[in-house]
């Protein structure tokens, strides 16, 4: 199987365009996952993509529909003052590998070189964000989600929600309001990066979309109010009047649908009733997460300390970056570690499918799930170990689930404080956080 890097930008652009338009899925070999005839391959012709399928309608009735504010209008917002204006920005734009056509962005403010950006092969919002997401109950969602499917588990102000990756795969950005707080739920398939942000900045609620551009293979978002560009993995505005501003990260682990159902029975689930015709449940990046494969549209140097597509539970504690490889977590189950003076507990359990392996997410291989917590509860440091499908602490013998809630023993009902983490591919995290400390395992 050839490396992904061998394919030209045209092939990648075609693949990403197919994702945007609901066409054929593409494998890491560069061929459609649906097989073309040998004759067409031999002649060098390209098999045309079929027309988009009608959207699959979620079971009715809808339990809740939460408008997050329809598309915002462009506002003349003053620059933040965090970044100096570049008087020579037009010279930099001449060597850029993206189009500025149609953008109202003030490109004179930027924190990274324009040459860092690559077009992902689709236009702005060609991968359409969801602005008015609909939510359904557990029983309805269970009709189309398999037990091991990955979902983003998010809770805020007592409101619990699951965002299935089979939906996020095709939209990448959801503008939502949870527990009265405007948030943006994001997923970059090329980096396996699922991140939730608070989207109010200096009193202004921002609506985000997909810019169509990538940096270090990672999603570059844009906001409709200022048309600034934002790096998904770092949550920072890197072009436009908001340059230098950072969004607030909110904890949101990826867990299996079974775990969400079991531990969040009153939660709601993002519906497939999106208004778009997409093949929800199918993976358009078949085989993309093979651990040794280099990534799409990544031109930087790979950090060889881990394989490019090794999943890591990555955290930042007061400026110190640390990564816990899934391969090590799978062996140990629970890790107790001190990161920059903070006692950290990392939980890992098997039973969550990859969203980027097989053609169908529900039947893809098990890669497990991780969650990260502060190990100190009400002044007492707890030491954890894996026990069956859960975890126990040595100090009280209480039993804990993957979401950090005690479900048995003296501490039943207590909850650990989540530490923001994401299950990034190593290459992406290392590109933005090159000084990351890697957990090497016990001993």
* pLDDT tens by residue, 374-397: 999 999 999 999 999 999 999 999
Count of beta carbons in the 10 Å neighbourhood of residue 42: 8
Q: Yes or no: say if 24 and 50 are a contact pair by the CB < 8 Å rule.
A: yes
Per-residue confidence (pLDDT) for residue 37, from 0 to 100: 26
Domain boundaries, the chain: 4-35, 64-270, 311-438
> What is this structure's pTM?
0.87
Exposure string of 395-411, with b = 16+ CB inside 10 Å and e = fewer, is eeebbbbbbbbbbeeeb
Per-residue confidence (pLDDT) for residue 21, from 0 to 100: 47
Distance between CA atoms of residues 69 and 66, nearest Å: 9
What are the phi and psi torsion angles at 89 (to 5°)? -60, -30
Q: From 284, 253, 90, 75, select the one nearest 169 (Cα to Cα).
A: 284
What is the DSSP pairing of strand 208-215 with strand 218-223? antiparallel
Quote the tokens at residue 331. 């062996």
Would you tell me which CATH number, out of the four given (2.50.20.10, 3.40.190.10, 2.60.40.790, 2.102.10.10), belongs to the domain 311-438?
2.102.10.10
Q: How confident is the model at residue 42 (pLDDT cuts 50, 70, 90)?
A: very low
* pLDDT tens by residue, 304-348: 999 999 999 999 999 999 999 999 999 999 999 999 999 999 999
Per-residue confidence (pLDDT) for residue 443, from 0 to 100: 66
């Amino acid at each position: 199987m050839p490396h992904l890097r061998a394919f030209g930008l045209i092939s990648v652009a075609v693949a990403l365009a197919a994702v945007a338009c609901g066409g054929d899925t593409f494998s890491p070999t560069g061929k459609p996952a649906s097989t073309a005839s040998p004759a067409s391959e031999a002649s060098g012709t390209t098999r045309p993509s079929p027309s988009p399928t009608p959207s699959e309608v979620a079971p009715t009735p809808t339990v809740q529909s939460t408008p997050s504010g329809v598309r915002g209008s462009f506002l003349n917002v003053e620059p933040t003052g965090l970044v100096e204006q570049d008087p020579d920005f037009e010279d930099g734009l001449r060597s850029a590998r993206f189009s500025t056509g149609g953008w109202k962005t003030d490109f004179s403010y930027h924190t990274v070189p324009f040459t860092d950006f690559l077009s992902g092969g689709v236009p702005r919002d060609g991968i359409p964000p969801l602005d008015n997401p609909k939510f359904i109950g557990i029983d309805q969602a269970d009709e189309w989600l398999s037990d091991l499917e990955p979902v983003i588990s998010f809770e805020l102000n007592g409101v619990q929600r699951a965002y299935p990756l089979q939906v996020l795969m095709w939209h990448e950005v959801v503008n939502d309001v949870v527990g009265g707080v405007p948030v943006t739920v994001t997923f970059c398939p090329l980096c396996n990066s699922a991140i939730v942000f608070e989207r109010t900045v200096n009193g202004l609620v921002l609506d985000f979309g997909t810019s169509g551009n990538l940096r270090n293979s990672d999603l570059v978002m844009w906001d409709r109010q200022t048309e600034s560009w934002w790096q998904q993995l770092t949550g920072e505005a890197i072009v436009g009047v908001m340059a230098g501003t950072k969004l607030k990260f909110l904890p949101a682990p990826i867990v299996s649908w079974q775990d969400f159902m079991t531990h969040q029975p009153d939660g709601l689930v993002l519906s497939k009733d999106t208004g778009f015709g997409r093949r929800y449940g199918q993976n358009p990046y078949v085989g993309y997460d093979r651990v040794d494969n280099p990534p799409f549209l990544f031109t930087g140097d790979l950090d060889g300390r881990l394989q490019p597509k090794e999943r890591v539970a990555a955290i930042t504690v007061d400026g110190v970056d640390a990564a816990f490889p899934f391969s090590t977590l799978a062996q140990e189950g629970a890790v107790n570690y001190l990161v920059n003076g903070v006692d950290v507990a990392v939980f890992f359990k098997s039973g969550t499918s990859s969203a980027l392996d097989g053609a169908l997410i529900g039947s893809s291989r098990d890669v497990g799930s991780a969650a990260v917590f502060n190990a100190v509860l009400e002044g007492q440091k707890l030491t954890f170990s894996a026990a069956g499908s859960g975890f126990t602490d040595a100090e009280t013998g209480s039993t804990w689930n993957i979401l950090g809630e005690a479900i048995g023993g003296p501490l039943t009902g207590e909850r650990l404080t989540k530490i923001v983490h994401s299950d990034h591919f190593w290459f992406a995290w290392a590109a933005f956080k090159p000084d990351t400390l890697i957990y090497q395992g016990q001993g």
